[in-house]
């Protein structure tokens, strides 16, 4: 039990330190469909729910600028008799934009900068598993929301910000083939 707590704390420290990395790379403009009953800014899996910006959908979607940091030194590749496994840590900064495409500068969770630390790993299919997630107030940079620890993951979706980051930062340690997400059409019921 103490070993698990120690590993959790070390992992949390590692990913929290990386979330403040100054070497952000701009990924692009992404969007998520507006939904009155679902708040994207507190979605720990937001990287897997952001799709490339499309000006035709601007009125019905919230826009975000997405930045990422990935260092191959933290990729973990493991081979056993039973399986080959890879874990790829990614840190992202997600900036909500107003209707004019400018960063929202206001206080509160709805307009804050989102920092999302995830691990992309294979578990039959590739999945996204959040490890830390927090929001800073865009006007004061004060942390206003935090979640960390073991969180529910989900299949890596194709064409999302998470899939694009893992694609353009590849190839990854020991894993020569491209890492791709599952097309949403495969998951939808007919």
> What number is the average pLDDT over the span 23-34?
93
The length of the chain in residues reads 190
Which residue(s) pair with 52 in the sheet? 30
pLDDT-derived band at 66 (thresholds 50, 70, 90) equals very high
List of residues 6+ apart from 183 with CB closer than 8 A: 157, 158, 159
- Please state, as a whole number, how many other Cβ atoms lie within 10 Å of the Cβ of residue 15: 21
Q: For 140-153, what is each residue's pLDDT tens digit?
A: 889 988 999 989 99
């Amino acid at each position: 039990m103490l070993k698990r707590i120690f590993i959790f704390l070390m992992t949390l420290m590692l990913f929290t330190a990386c979330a403040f990395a100054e070497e952000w790379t701009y990924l692009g403009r992404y969007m998520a469909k507006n939904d009155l009953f679902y708040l994207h800014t507190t979605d720990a899996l937001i990287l897997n729910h952001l799709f490339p910006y499309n000006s035709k959908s601007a009125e019905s979607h919230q826009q975000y600028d997405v930045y990422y940091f990935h260092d191959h030194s933290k990729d973990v590749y493991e081979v056993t008799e039973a399986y080959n496994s890879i874990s790829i840590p990614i840190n992202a900064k997600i900036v909500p934009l107003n209707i004019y495409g400018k960063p929202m500068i206001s206080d509160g969770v709805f307009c804050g900068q989102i920092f999302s630390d995830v691990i992309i790993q294979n578990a039959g299919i590739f999945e996204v598993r959040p490890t830390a997630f927090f929001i800073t107030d865009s006007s004061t940079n004060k942390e206003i929301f935090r979640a960390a620890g073991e969180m529910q993951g989900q299949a890596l979706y194709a064409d999302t910000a998470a899939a694009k980051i893992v694609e353009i930062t590849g190839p990854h340690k020991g894993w020569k083939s491209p890492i791709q997400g599952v097309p949403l059409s495969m998951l939808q019921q007919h």
